[in-house]
């Protein structure tokens, strides 16, 4: 089922890139569920928690796959996001990035050489504001030439909210925003 959703999403991204001039670089919030909520996570909601801190992006370069998509390249790779600050813990999952260059060029150059749009889908385990938390996490955005990322984290199914991100591709960065632990 995940493969069907991914193909449908990729088809939509590719169609948008070739379509009526819409902004394919503008990420949108998808509807998805990666992991069901655990029974041991409290079902009572607390108030909003203002978050800020740092995260590291740990990329498992041995898992990279490159798939040609017209004149572009779909890059997929596994990895982790390691959080410190108000959010403490790890998100483990996979990144899919539509690189705006042919796969031969993507393979021969470091991350951030070409612009792309990406999303990381994973499961976060840790604490938010000192409260135990487990949630789905989607990290999405766009990478500019040089590697700067304008993105956001979207938490769901255990933690709810969107958090702004300023980062460097394959390195990490800072986050800030408001979430609710459920």
Report CA torsion sign: 159, 165, 168, 172: negative
Q: Which pLDDT score, from 0 to 100, does residue 45 have? A: 65
Residue from 115, 124, 117, 112 nearest 154 by CA: 124
pTM: 0.77
* pLDDT value of residue 112: 97
Section 175-182 average pLDDT: 97
Residue 121: is its pLDDT beyond 50?
A: yes
What is the band of 44 on the pLDDT scale with cuts at 50, 70, 90? low
Q: If you write DSSP's letter for every residue of 33-59 in order, what string do you get? A: -SSPPPTTS--S----EEEEEEEEEEE
**CB-CB neighbours of 160 under 10 Å:** 16
Pair 76, 59: CB distance under 8 Å:
no
| Domains in the chain: ranges and CATH | 32-181 (2.40.350.10)
Distance of alpha carbon 162 from alpha carbon 179, whole angstroms: 7
pLDDT digits (tens, 9 = 90+) for 131-160: 999 999 999 999 999 999 999 999 999 999
The answer on pLDDT for 101 being more than 70 is yes
Cα–Cα distance for residue pair 127/53, rounded to 1 Å: 13
> Which pLDDT belongs to residue 143?
98
Strand (E) or helix (H) holding 4: helix 2-18
**Which range (1-5, 42-46, 92-96, 139-143) has the least confidence?**
1-5
pLDDT of residue 111: 97
Q: What is the pLDDT of residue 46?
A: 72
Which residues fall within 8 angstroms of residue 18, CB to CB, at 6 or more apart? Answer: 70
């Amino acid at each position: 089922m995940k493969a069907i959703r991914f193909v449908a999403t990729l088809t939509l991204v590719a169609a948008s890139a070739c379509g009526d001039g819409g902004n394919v670089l503008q990420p949108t919030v998808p509807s998805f569920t990666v992991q069901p909520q655990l029974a041991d996570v409290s079902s009572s909601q607390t108030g909003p928690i203002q978050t800020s801190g740092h995260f590291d992006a740990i990329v498992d370069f041995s898992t990279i796959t490159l798939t040609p998509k017209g004149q572009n390249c779909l890059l997929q790779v596994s990895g982790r996001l390691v959080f410190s600050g108000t959010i403490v813990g790890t998100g483990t999952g996979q990144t899919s990035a539509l690189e705006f260059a042919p796969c031969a060029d993507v393979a021969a150059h470091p991350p951030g050489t070409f612009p792309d749009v990406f999303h990381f889908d994973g499961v976060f385990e840790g604490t938010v504001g000192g409260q135990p938390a487990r949630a789905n996490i989607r990290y999405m955005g766009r990478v500019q030439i040089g590697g700067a990322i304008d993105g956001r984290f979207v938490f769901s199914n255990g933690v709810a909210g969107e958090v702004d991100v300023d980062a460097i591709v394959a390195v990490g960065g800072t986050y800030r925003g408001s979430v609710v632990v459920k």
